[in-house]
Structure formats: structure tokens, C-alpha cells
């Protein structure tokens, strides 16, 4: 255990928790779940299934040593990002030490979660947060775009998962039975296309004034009716 952090709660059923020094593979993601949920294909491959939110995080010291890692899904009204924030907060990290947190998410954060992540990271100068998303959630809806812009403005790095992040996610969070990561068809092509889209969203020319963005974040997600006219 490193000075300045401690376990404050026991894992609950469904939690995916890893404890340093303790062999625990029972909560790793199954290979088919990883491939289905982290797949970056523009359309869900057959047979049809629902793409859910998974957030896998690694908390590291600056020397690269992993202090903690885990995986969250949305649960009832609590999104994976909220559960992640609660978990990191519960660790009571030493404010005098610097930490790096890497998150792999199947979907980029919704506006409400983006706002929560901004609130979480603001004022915590000792934390650097990097978010790598496999896919962009409602990327054509302005309030979702603004959420990503606000994360960037709060010094949170937002990027799209490339082969290297899929590989790392496979190594760290999947019950891979020692098998190497195998790419799916057109992984790189899809990643580059999603990345270009993200760059357009994050480019200064796409920004409206900050006050509007903050107001929209506080308003939360758009109603289903406002999304209905959009298509993927
Ligand atoms: Zn959310």
C-alpha cells in the first residue's frame, strides 16, 4: 500500500475491483464482452446487441506504477463516470502526490457526466485525467459536443482509442487467457475516422462561448424528442 490512499469500501456485487498484490481475475471482462462493447464499428455487428457504457480506469503514480484499477458500468440512475468519481474520491489520494488516471470508455461521456468530471478535476491540480473513448456518444448533438469541449477546457485529455489503447485495455481488463489482442476488421480506419470527428468537435472554430456551454451542461441531456430527428 502506498501512503496516502486507502480502501474505504468493500467491493459490491457487480463491481469490478482489482487490488494490488492480490490475484483476482474473476471480475475481468470476458473476451466477447470486450469485443462487443469496445468495438468501434459504426454499426453494431450481427447478431444485434445493445452497446452499453463500460469505463475501465487505471490510477497510476507518475513513475507508471498502477495503484488501482477497475471497471464500471452504468447502474440504475448512476452512470459509470459517477461511480468512477466516487471510487477515486473514496481513495483519499494524497494531495501532495501527483497521479495520472487513464480511462478507457466504450462511449464518450454524456453532458451530465462531462459536467461531473469537470467538477471533479477542477481544483485537483495533482490529478491528470486522460479519457480514451472507443466511440463518440451522440456526437452530432451540440450539448454532447459541448460536454467534450468543457472536458478539454478543464485540462482533461479526450482522445479516441487507437489500436494501442485497445491492446492495453485487452491486457489490463480482459480475461484474455494469455492470448494476444486480435484486431477486428478496419479497426484503424474506424478509429481514424472517429478521431477526425472528435478533432472537429474540439477545434476552437467549433466553440461557442463558455457561458453557454456551462449552462447547457447544467441542463443535462437533451430530451428524447430532440434527439429523434437525428440519425447515426
Ligand atoms: Zn453519463
Q: Residue 16 falls within a domain, yes or no? A: no
Average pLDDT rounded to a whole number, residues 198-222 = 67
Q: Number of structural domains, the chain?
A: 1
Q: Cell numbers 430527428 label which residue?
A: 229
Q: Would you call 188 helix, strand, or coil by DSSP? A: helix
Buried b or exposed e, range 153-183, using 16+ CB within 10 angstroms = ebebebebbbeebbebbbebbbebeeeebee
Chain-centroid distance of CA 175 in Å reads 19
Give the model's pLDDT for residue 210.
53
Predicted pLDDT of residue 77: 86
The average confidence (pLDDT) of the chain is 84
Give residue-wise pLDDT tens across range 47-88: 889 999 999 999 999 999 999 999 999 998 899 999 999 999
- 12: its cell numbers: 459490491
List Cβ neighbours of 20 (8 Å cut-off, separation of 6 or more).
1, 66, 67, 68
Instruction: Look at residue 126 and tell me whether its pLDDT is greater than 80.
Output: yes
B/e letters for 79-113, b = 16+ CB within 10 Å, e = fewer, are bbbbbbbebbeebebeeeeebbbbbbbbbbbbbbb
Whether residue 177 lies inside any domain: the answer is: yes
Question: How do beta strands 127-135 and 16-18 pair?
Answer: unpaired
Q: How far is the CA of 110 from the centre of ligand 1 (A)?
A: 4
Q: Which tops the pLDDT comparison, 167 or 6?
A: 167
pLDDT at site 4: 31
Residue 219: what pLDDT?
A: 54
- 135 Cα to the center of ligand 1, angstroms: 14
User: 48 CA distance to ligand 1 centroid (A)?
Assistant: 23
User: Does 17 map to a domain?
Assistant: no
Q: Does 166 map to a domain?
A: yes
pLDDT digits (tens, 9 = 90+) for 11-26: 444 444 444 443 333 3
pLDDT above 70 for 149: yes
CATH assignment of the domain containing 126? 3.40.140.10
Residue 108 lies in a domain: yes
Annotation says 81 is catalytic: yes
Decide if 10 is inside a domain: no
**Which structural domain, as residue segments, surrounds residue 154?**
31-220
Tell me the C-alpha to C-alpha distance, in Å, between residue 196 and each of 176, 189, 193, 227.
30, 11, 5, 23
Active-site residue (options: 81, 116, 165, 172) = 81
> What is the distance between the terminal CA atoms of the chain, rounded to a whole angstrom?
46
Q: Is residue 82 part of a domain?
A: yes
Q: What are phi and psi of 151, to 5 degrees?
A: -60, -45
Distance 229 CA to ligand 1 centre (A): 21
Question: Is residue 36 in a domain?
Answer: yes
pLDDT(180) > 80: yes
Q: Distance (Å, rounded) from C-alpha 158 to C-alpha 79?
A: 18
Interval between CA 81 and ligand 1 midpoint (Å): 6
Which pLDDT score, from 0 to 100, does residue 228 have? 35
Per-residue pLDDT, 213: 53
Sign of CA dihedral 53, 90, 7, 98: positive
Q: What is the pLDDT of residue 123?
A: 84
Amino acid at each position: 500500500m502506498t501512503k496516502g490512499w486507502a480502501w474505504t469500501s468493500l467491493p459490491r456485487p457487480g463491481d469490478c475491483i482489482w487490488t494490488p498484490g492480490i490475484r483476482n481475475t474473476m471480475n475481468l471482462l470476458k473476451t466477447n464482452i470486450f469485443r462487443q462493447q469496445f468495438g468501434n464499428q459504426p454499426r453494431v455487428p450481427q447478431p444485434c446487441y445493445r452497446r452499453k457504457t463500460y469505463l475501465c480506469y487505471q490510477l497510476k503514480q507518475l513513475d507508471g506504477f498502477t495503484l488501482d484499477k477497475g471497471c464500471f458500468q452504468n447502474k440504475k440512475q448512476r452512470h459509470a463516470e459517477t461511480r468512477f468519481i466516487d471510487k477515486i474520491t473514496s481513495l483519499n489520494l494524497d494531495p501532495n502526490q501527483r497521479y495520472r488516471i487513464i480511462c478507457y470508455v466504450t462511449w464518450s461521456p454524456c453532458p451530465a457526466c462531462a459536467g461531473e468530471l469537470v467538477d471533479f478535476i477542477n481544483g485537483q491540480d495533482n490529478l491528470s485525467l486522460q479519457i480514451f473513448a472507443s466511440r463518440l456518444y451522440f456526437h452530432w448533438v451540440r450539448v454532447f459536443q459541448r460536454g467534450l469541449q468543457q472536458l478539454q477546457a478543464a485540462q482533461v485529455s479526450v482522445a479516441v482509442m487507437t489500436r494501442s489503447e485497445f491492446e492495453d485495455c485487452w491486457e489490463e481488463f480482459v480475461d484474455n487467457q494469455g492470448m494476444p489482442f486480435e484486431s477486428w476488421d478496419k479497426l484503424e480506419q474506424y478509429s481514424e475516422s472517429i478521431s477526425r470527428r472528435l478533432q472537429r468537435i474540439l477545434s476552437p472554430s467549433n466553440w461557442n462561448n463558455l457561458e453557454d456551454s456551462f449552462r447547457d451542461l447544467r441542463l443535462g441531456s437533451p430530451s428524447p424528442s430532440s434527439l429523434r430527428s437525428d440519425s447515426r
